[in-house]
A = this chain, B = another copy of it.
Amino acid sequence: MITSTANAQVKELMRLMKKSRARDEAGVFLAEGPRMTEELAADPAWRENIRKVYLSEDYAAKAKDRWTSFQTEILSDAVFAHVSGTKTPQGVLAVVQRPEYGMEDILGHGGGRAHILVLDNLQDPGNLGTIFRTAEAAGATGILLSADCVDVYNPKVVRSTMGAVLRMPFQYVEDLPGAIGELKQNGIWIYAAHLAGEKAYDEEDYTSGCAFLIGNEGNGLRDEVAACADRRILIPMQGSAESLNAAVAAAVLMFEAARQRRR
């Protein structure tokens, strides 16, 4: 059992918890809590991605047997609390190798029913977590993100996706207009949520392959990204509201697509 925060493994774990670059370089993310780690362990595809599982002394006393087929390390409760990203640590934390998704995954392996969200420079971790969670519920097939979006493997985002980050294919891309062009070549119709939209969002048909472009919280879509859209659509707003929260705008559009597809 590791009892010191000066331990080399503990220091490395802290780096992975805090630094996006450390996670990128190692090609991993951290999954914390029994719920998410057990979902990973129960899924044959994810199972082999689990590199190491850290257990608190307290949790290990109860649940060590569940993790016998994995490489584990026990931390004293104090050390576990030190590395944990949560206020009330639940005693289990896995270092997990990232999956690699391709355009085929984003398109939902077929394309005709593709339902894609494209995020341009989204910055708020809470918004990104909510968007992943909402996208899964609305039946989106995948998410494309510009390289300067907030890191979905930020432990706070991972938690706030409520597990959707494990199930929703996604890809960060350097050249977002280029990637949108690839969607178009696959027959996907591109809609930009835009304050200067011509038609209300519910006047378009989303029953075939479609993608929604959502911009930065403060500045909206960059011009070169908005220019990729086949249509600019408007979410009509009343009162003095000038815009919607990015996660709310994404939710309204994705659930409209889901509503049309149920009919």
Chain multiplicity (copies): 2
Using Cβ atoms and an 8 Å threshold, which residues of chain B touch A1? none
Is A130's beta carbon under 8 Å from chain B?
A: yes
Closest beta carbon of chain B to A234's beta carbon, Å: 12
Which stretch of A59-67, A85-93, A255-263 is in the interface? A255-263
Q: How far is the CA of A168 from the CA of B240 in the complex (A)?
A: 10
Using Cβ atoms and an 8 Å threshold, which residues of chain B touch A258? 236, 238
Mostly helix, strand, loop or mixed at chain A's interface?
Answer: helix
State whether A167 and B236 are in contact (beta carbons under 8 Å apart), knowing that A133-B244, A245-B130, A251-B252 are contacts in the complex.
no
Chain A interface residues toward B at CB < 8 A: 126, 130, 133-134, 136-139, 162-164, 167-168, 200, 202, 235-245, 247-248, 251-252, 255-256, 258-259, 262
Interface contacts beyond A164-B241, A238-B258: sample of 9 additional A-B pairs, CB < 8 Å, sorted by A: A126-B126, A137-B235, A137-B239, A137-B244, A162-B243, A167-B239, A167-B240, A202-B262, A236-B258
